[in-house]
């Protein structure tokens, strides 16, 4: 316990506590014997503002136990910790707020734009492929049409037995190359006459046919795909008698008598 002495100037109080209650620091051996509130040989100490002491150090200096809930020490009220902000607050607000309709409208608009661009690109590719095929076919047709007279000369030489030796090899190679480009030769003796693909140069009547028939191929026809480069030039024979047995041949004597 602190001891007190009376002097001429008043009572002097000696503080023998080892821990300074103001600073929380451990006092030295000589500091404990000095009167409280003095400096040096009992001179009053100038007033000083008390330094801020950590709360834990102040409780240690006073020798008392620090309360478990130090937040209740001064006011007796419990301070609640700040509530944690839940995750995705913004997303939840947008989900149920008016911005959700705007976002949905923007998403639908962007999706429609992408789908429209995709459809336009698909149509563009189809159009380009179709145009490329048409240009290629036209180029092939133009080239093959220019070579038809050469093929006619080769056929004539083959009919007369003049296609032999190295010339025959060149002719066979040329015809094979043209075949790879899509050139097809048609026109056979005895096939029905079709004005769409045949060109009749001569006409006659025959009892051996029941319909208009190509009895001779004067020049073969050529085609590429469905395009006719040149129709087959043929001699056509028509039936001599009709379905009722009557003759289809014209009566030239009756025609002369009428004149």
% of the chain with per-residue pLDDT over 90: 37
Mean pLDDT of the chain: 75
Query: What are the phi and psi torsion angles at 13 (to 5°)?
Result: -110, 125
pLDDT for position 15 = 73
pTM of the model: 0.50
pLDDT for position 71 = 44
pLDDT for position 231 = 94
Q: How many CB atoms lie within 10 A of CB 27?
A: 16
Say which CATH topology domain 186-251 has.
Nucleotide Exchange Factor Grpe; Chain A, domain 2 (2.30.22)
Which parts of the chain are beta strand (E)?
3-7, 10-14, 38-39, 43-44, 183-186, 198-206, 213-219, 221-224, 227-230, 232-239
Residue-wise pLDDT tens digits, 63-114: 555 554 444 444 445 555 445 544 444 455 455 567 888 899 999 999 999 9
Q: What is the 3-state secondary structure (H, E, C) of 194-237?
A: CCCCEEEEEEEEECCCCCCEEEEEEECEEEECCEEEECEEEEEE
Q: How many CB atoms lie within 10 A of CB 215?
A: 19
CA distances from 36 to 4, 21, 63, 207 (A): 11, 11, 19, 156
Roughly what angle, to the nearest 10 degrees, separates helices 99-159 and 89-96?
80
**Which residue reads 């145009």 in tokens?**
131
* Nearest-angstrom CA–CA distance, 184 and 83: 87
Where is average pLDDT lowest: 157-166, 200-209, 250-259? 250-259
The residue that leads in pLDDT, 19 or 171, is 171
């Amino acid at each position: 316990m602190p001891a007190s002495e009376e002097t001429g100037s008043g009572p002097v109080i000696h503080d023998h506590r080892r821990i300074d209650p103001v600073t929380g620091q451990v006092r030295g051996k000589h500091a404990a014997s000095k009167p409280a509130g003095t400096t040096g040989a009992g001179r009053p100490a100038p007033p000083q503002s008390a330094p801020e002491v950590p709360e834990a150090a102040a409780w240690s200096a006073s020798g008392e136990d620090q309360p478990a809930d130090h937040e209740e020490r001064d006011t007796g009220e419990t301070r609640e910790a700040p509530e944690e902000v839940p995750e995705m607050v913004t997303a939840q607000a947008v989900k149920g707020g008016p911005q959700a309709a705007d976002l949905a409208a923007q998403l639908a608009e962007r999706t429609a734009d992408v789908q429209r661009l995709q459809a336009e690109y698909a149509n563009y590719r189809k159009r380009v492929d179709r145009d490329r095929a048409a240009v290629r076919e036209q180029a092939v047709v133009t080239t093959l049409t220019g070579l038809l007279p050469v093929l006619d000369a080769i056929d004539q030489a083959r009919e007369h037995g003049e296609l032999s030796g190295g010339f025959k090899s060149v002719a066979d190679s040329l015809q094979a190359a043209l075949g790879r480009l899509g050139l097809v030769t048609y026109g056979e003796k005895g096939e029905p006459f079709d004005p769409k693909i045949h060109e009749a140069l001569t006409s006659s009547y025959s009892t051996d046919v029941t319909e208009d028939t190509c009895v001779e191929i004067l020049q073969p026809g050529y085609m590429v795909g469905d395009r006719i480069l040149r129709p087959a030039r043929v001699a056509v024979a028509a039936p001599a008698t009709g379905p009722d047995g009557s003759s289809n041949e014209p009566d030239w004597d009756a025609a002369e008598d009428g004149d």
